[in-house]
A and B are shown apart, each in its own frame.
Chain A
Amino acid sequence: MSASTKNRTAGDSAESSSIWQSKWFDTASRFLALIAVFSFFAIMVKEGKFYTARNLENILRQSAVYATAALGMTMVIITAGIDLSVGSVIALTVVVIAWMLNIHWDVIPVGGGETEVVFLIHQWPVLVPILAVLVALLMATLAGLLNGTTLVGQRLVPFIVTLGTMGIFRGVAKLIAHEKDIYPQEDTWIADIMDPTLTSVDPSRSWMLLPPGVWLLLIAAVGAALLLRYTRLGRHIYAVGSNAETARLCGVPVGRTKILVYTLAGFFGGLAGLMQFSIAGGIGAPTTAVAYELHIIAAVVIGGASFSGGEGSILGSFIGALIIAVLYMGCQLMLWPKSVQEIVIGVIIIQAVALDQFRRRRMALS
């Protein structure tokens, strides 16, 4: 009705009138924000310590855990939901991996069983880490499925369900680990997937260019972006978040879409857990990744997703995760005390979103 909405155009194609309103520009502006934050620390941190190859790689490694979990969180937030349990899912994955790695030492003593699985494990120890990864990812995915089925089946708000499962999954992780850190008896490749490559002391790793975990993230991110952009499920995700009632009338299986989204969030949480296992030094600590959900949500929101649903993008969230990682790394290298770091980052998250909203409102008017 009002002229302000009537003349709003923000198309993303050749039909669109202005480049300033395109989705391309939206992403570019986020990228500029990343460069701005980066430049700030590059200038402020003395002796050029911030932009060393080692530090750049560190930033990538740091952001990988957040970015991977943010893939699922992006989908969840697009459906107007939230997943508070992802930090606990990461911890659960880390613990399950460590527990599985010790399976032929503690759990199934040598010569203790006769089943085929046990036989296989003892014959080919190389299978153990593969099995560990698969079981851990399966657990994480099931955790996500539990979130989805509970909130759809019992018609509960995602905030409440995942607030509950945040405690439950953390509890299960502690239960498996008997409230102690699990130290795997052998070093495996899983512990190395996030180790430095280009800046590694071991020159044999440099051919990979990036740590394998970062490659894994890139593949997962491309997959998630394609899913959102080009599949029916992706379109359903946006539809459910934009207007769930109308989506139902259009024949969209709203409940099933939500269950799938939370299940995927669990899976991506598992992948993030795999990376966290390596970053944390290959130890199965049930107390790891505490409050990660908040960083991950912050990354998604800085990336342009809206809590009211229907908006958000993988690339945006990816940039958001990088911004968070740069902030943490920068604050550390500035040698600010932890307390100051936390305050600074908190303020920046709020102001980043405020700026974003201000920009959008201006765009909506023009």
Chain B
Amino acid sequence: MTSTEPLISIRRITKRFPGVVALDGVSIDVAPGELHAVVGENGAGKSTLMKCLCGVIADFEGEIRLDGRTVHFRNTTDAEAAGIGIIHQELNLVGQLSAAANIFLGREKTHGLGLLNDRAMAADAAELLRQLECEVHPGQLVRDLRVGDQQLVEIAKALSLRAGVLIMDEPTSALTETEVQRLFRVIERLRGRGVTILYISHKMDEVFRLADRITVLRDGRLVDTLDRRQTDARRVTHLMVGREIAASSASGSSADGEVVLEVRNLSLPRPGHAQKWQLRDVNLRLHRGEILGIAGLMGAGRTELLECLFGASPETPQGTILLEGREVAFAHPAAALKAGVALVAEDRKRLGVFANLNVGQNVTMGTLDRVAVGGLISPKRERAAALGPIEQLDVKTAGLAAPITSLSGGNQQKAIIGRWLLTRPKVLLLDDPTRGVDVGAKAELYRLMDDLCREGLGIIVTSSELPELLTLCDRILVLCEGHPTGQLTRAEATEHRIMELATQRPGVE
């Protein structure tokens, strides 16, 4: 493969943002038809490099050669014309338009007078989607689709451009295990057609499953490009972080503490929908010092379950929730907070961060009553309160007054967990807490959870990555379409067993 002329040749690209060098003389050759993985921690420059390659960033030093010719993309349209398509991590789709309309957005097919030829677009879209084994109807609105299907619509869009090069920026970060498997099949099929793929990820299992070659970036510099067959995950991880990561050994105390939270026959109706229940007859018990995992595919009701326990669900749940033996019914998150339940929600950008506020203000938002005297916030008390978790969780920030958006994803997440720890919860609910967090920060979060449950906290955690649940949890409750399909202890749980339960369709009502 290395003998052939490179299809894409990236020559000493440097990209400076004011005050920082995001890319520092990076050179990569990509052979035609290969799947080239680009890995690195958050902030390593992976996304910046891809943006240079697909025309999003037009002013950089260095050159890009495509098929031996130097190219200058002034914008994404130029790059698309040259056959380079990109699937962004945050999908670029218009929710209010149909799948077909999205695929042909900006290149609509028309009849003679400029009228839209919807039928032709729908037919072509249907054909593209079929090739991707996507069961989406071209007329469906994109906002009604699941994330995995939305992503396939993006891929279909890139295919409709006849892209010879496809850049995928952490495509599995929001997918469930089945969707990931389907994506991998799609990728294999694309490779069969000779599409060259640049695959950005920091998940070792994916990279080693898919890639021909692996390029490692760190702090904007090229570390190395390796042949997959001549390296292993441990070595690549080492190159990524520049240090060895101790295999996460969160043992969990698994001490049989007293029951802190008990849920009996919890059901959450879904008004006006064929599937009547978002959750049906969920039972669970959480002990002090225990980590309980909730596993399930996307749409299984993981997030909904946590929302119910926090009083944040749009509909009122049915059933009984006992907190330390006393029955509770939270009408508003404020009530749950007061009773000692805290929720770190799933989507950090949408449900975690106040982008306009600084780090300190973000941390104290859940506990203003404690830093305020008669409605007046005492800056001194607020500072003292915020410093506690910032130091305890080792949040790397320029200070309490720094904007929260200046922090890396992992540190933002730690600041938000700090916000909830300040409420001194008895039960901590973590909804996919390591999503979009880099490897090093993940390990820190694991350690943190371990410490917290040693201190007697009960933790319920969900994750879109099964191995994570397997290392963290004392017990794992598996949901499928809102129904509990099984509960596994640490000894019983395997990836295989969980997937079985997660796909075991409960009897249709």
Taking Cβ atoms with an 8 Å cutoff, the residues of A that contact B are 1-13, 15-17, 230-236, 238-239, 241-243, 245-253, 309-311, 365-366
Considering only CB atoms, which chain A residue lies closest to B356 in the complex? Answer: A310
Complex: A101 Cα to B366 Cα, angstroms: 48
Q: Contact at B375–A238, with CB atoms within 8 Å?
A: no
* B238 interfacial contact with A, CB 8 Å: no
Residues of A within 8 A of B389 (CB): none
Residues of A within 8 A of B361 (CB): 235, 238
Residues of B within 8 A of A232 (CB): 368-369, 372, 375-377
Considering only CB atoms, which chain A residue lies closest to B369 in the complex? Answer: A232
Q: Contact at B356–A246, with CB atoms within 8 Å?
A: no
Q: Contact at B406–A239, with CB atoms within 8 Å?
A: no
Q: Which of B14-22, B62-70, B205-213 contacts A (4 or more CB under 8 A)?
A: B14-22
Contact (A11, B398) CB under 8 Å given A231-B376, A245-B350: yes
Considering only CB atoms, which chain B residue lies closest to A241 in the complex? Answer: B356
Q: Contact at B333–A243, with CB atoms within 8 Å?
A: no
Jot down 23 A-B pairs with beta carbons below 8 A, ordered by A. Answer: A1-B42, A1-B47, A1-B89, A2-B48, A3-B17, A3-B43, A4-B20, A5-B405, A8-B405, A10-B403, A11-B402, A15-B398, A15-B400, A15-B401, A235-B365, A235-B377, A236-B368, A242-B357, A249-B351, A250-B366, A251-B366, A252-B365, A310-B356
Cβ of A221 to closest chain B Cβ, rounded Å = 18
Beyond known contacts A8-B403, A243-B355, A249-B345: 18 more, CB 8 A cutoff: A3-B43, A3-B45, A4-B22, A7-B17, A15-B401, A16-B399, A230-B376, A231-B372, A231-B377, A232-B368, A232-B372, A232-B376, A242-B354, A246-B350, A246-B351, A249-B343, A250-B337, A365-B18
Contact (A4, B17) CB under 8 Å given A248-B312, A311-B356: yes
Complex: A248 Cα to B354 Cα, angstroms: 12
Contact (A11, B399) CB under 8 Å given A3-B43, A310-B356: yes
Residues of B within 8 A of A8 (CB): 403, 405-406
Complex: A1 Cα to B405 Cα, angstroms: 10
Considering only CB atoms, which chain B residue lies closest to A5 in the complex? Answer: B405
Complex: A230 Cα to B380 Cα, angstroms: 11
**Interface SS of chain B:** mixed
Cβ of A306 to closest chain B Cβ, rounded Å = 8
Residues of A within 8 A of B337 (CB): 250-251
Q: Contact at B22–A2, with CB atoms within 8 Å?
A: yes
* B253 interfacial contact with A, CB 8 Å: no
Residues of A within 8 A of B332 (CB): 248, 251, 253
Contact (A246, B353) CB under 8 Å given A6-B20, A11-B399: yes
Residues of B within 8 A of A251 (CB): 332-334, 337-338, 366
**Residue from the list B19, B357, B379 in contact with A366, Cβ < 8 A:** B19
Complex: A242 Cα to B403 Cα, angstroms: 13
* B352 interfacial contact with A, CB 8 Å: yes
Residues of B within 8 A of A6 (CB): 20, 43, 406, 408
Cβ of B87 to closest chain A Cβ, rounded Å = 15
**Residue from the list B22, B366, B399 in contact with A15, Cβ < 8 A:** B399
* B310 interfacial contact with A, CB 8 Å: yes
Residues of B within 8 A of A249 (CB): 310, 312, 333, 343, 345, 351
Cβ of A190 to closest chain B Cβ, rounded Å = 32
Most chain B CB inside 10 Å of its own CB: which residue of A232, A239, A251? A251
Considering only CB atoms, which chain A residue lies closest to B23 in the complex? Answer: A3
Cβ of A237 to closest chain B Cβ, rounded Å = 11
Complex: A7 Cα to B369 Cα, angstroms: 32
Complex: A176 Cα to B51 Cα, angstroms: 63
Q: Contact at B375–A231, with CB atoms within 8 Å?
A: yes
Considering only CB atoms, which chain A residue lies closest to B352 in the complex? Answer: A246
Cβ of B66 to closest chain A Cβ, rounded Å = 24
Q: Contact at B377–A239, with CB atoms within 8 Å?
A: no
User: Considering the complex, which residues of chain B in the window 146-179 have a beta carbon less than 8 Å from any beta carbon of chain A?
Assistant: none
Residues of B within 8 A of A253 (CB): 332, 334
Residues of A within 8 A of B406 (CB): 5-10
Complex: A17 Cα to B332 Cα, angstroms: 40
Q: Contact at A366–B352, with CB atoms within 8 Å?
A: no
Residues of A within 8 A of B21 (CB): 3
Q: Contact at B20–A248, with CB atoms within 8 Å?
A: no
Complex: A9 Cα to B358 Cα, angstroms: 10
Q: Contact at B377–A230, with CB atoms within 8 Å?
A: yes
Cβ of B58 to closest chain A Cβ, rounded Å = 15
* B33 interfacial contact with A, CB 8 Å: no
Q: Contact at B333–A248, with CB atoms within 8 Å?
A: yes
Complex: A366 Cα to B406 Cα, angstroms: 12
* B409 interfacial contact with A, CB 8 Å: yes
Complex: A15 Cα to B399 Cα, angstroms: 6
Q: Contact at B333–A250, with CB atoms within 8 Å?
A: yes
Residues of B within 8 A of A246 (CB): 345, 350-354
Residues of B within 8 A of A230 (CB): 376-377, 379
Cβ of A146 to closest chain B Cβ, rounded Å = 24
Residues of A within 8 A of B357 (CB): 238-239, 242, 310
Complex: A4 Cα to B379 Cα, angstroms: 30
Residues of A within 8 A of B20 (CB): 3-4, 6-7
Residues of B within 8 A of A248 (CB): 312, 332-333
Cβ of B185 to closest chain A Cβ, rounded Å = 28
Complex: A252 Cα to B367 Cα, angstroms: 10
Considering only CB atoms, which chain A residue lies closest to B45 in the complex? Answer: A3
* B218 interfacial contact with A, CB 8 Å: no
* B419 interfacial contact with A, CB 8 Å: yes
* B418 interfacial contact with A, CB 8 Å: no
Residues of B within 8 A of A234 (CB): 377
**Residue from the list B333, B354, B400, B408 in contact with A310, Cβ < 8 A:** B354
* B220 interfacial contact with A, CB 8 Å: yes
Complex: A312 Cα to B410 Cα, angstroms: 29
Residues of A within 8 A of B45 (CB): 3
Complex: A17 Cα to B398 Cα, angstroms: 9
Most chain A CB inside 10 Å of its own CB: which residue of B43, B354, B379, B398? B354
A interface footprint on B81-124 (CB within 8 Å = 1, 0 otherwise): 00000000100000000000000000000000000000000000
Q: Contact at B403–A11, with CB atoms within 8 Å?
A: yes
Considering only CB atoms, which chain A residue lies closest to B345 in the complex? Answer: A249
Considering only CB atoms, which chain B residue lies closest to A11 in the complex? Answer: B401
A interface footprint on B388-420 (CB within 8 Å = 1, 0 otherwise): 000000000011111101101100000000010
Q: Contact at A7–B19, with CB atoms within 8 Å?
A: yes
Cβ of B315 to closest chain A Cβ, rounded Å = 15
Complex: A230 Cα to B376 Cα, angstroms: 6
**Residue from the list B51, B365, B376, B405 in contact with A250, Cβ < 8 A:** B365
Considering only CB atoms, which chain A residue lies closest to B378 in the complex? Answer: A230
Q: Contact at B22–A3, with CB atoms within 8 Å?
A: yes
Cβ of A252 to closest chain B Cβ, rounded Å = 7
Considering only CB atoms, which chain A residue lies closest to B338 in the complex? Answer: A251
Complex: A241 Cα to B358 Cα, angstroms: 14
Residues of A within 8 A of B354 (CB): 238-239, 242-243, 246-247, 310
Contact (A250, B353) CB under 8 Å given A3-B220, A17-B398: no
Q: Contact at A16–B398, with CB atoms within 8 Å?
A: yes
Complex: A17 Cα to B22 Cα, angstroms: 20
Q: Contact at B355–A310, with CB atoms within 8 Å?
A: yes
Residues of B within 8 A of A2 (CB): 22, 47-48, 51
Residues of A within 8 A of B18 (CB): 365-366
Complex: A88 Cα to B368 Cα, angstroms: 36
Residues of A within 8 A of B350 (CB): 243, 245-246
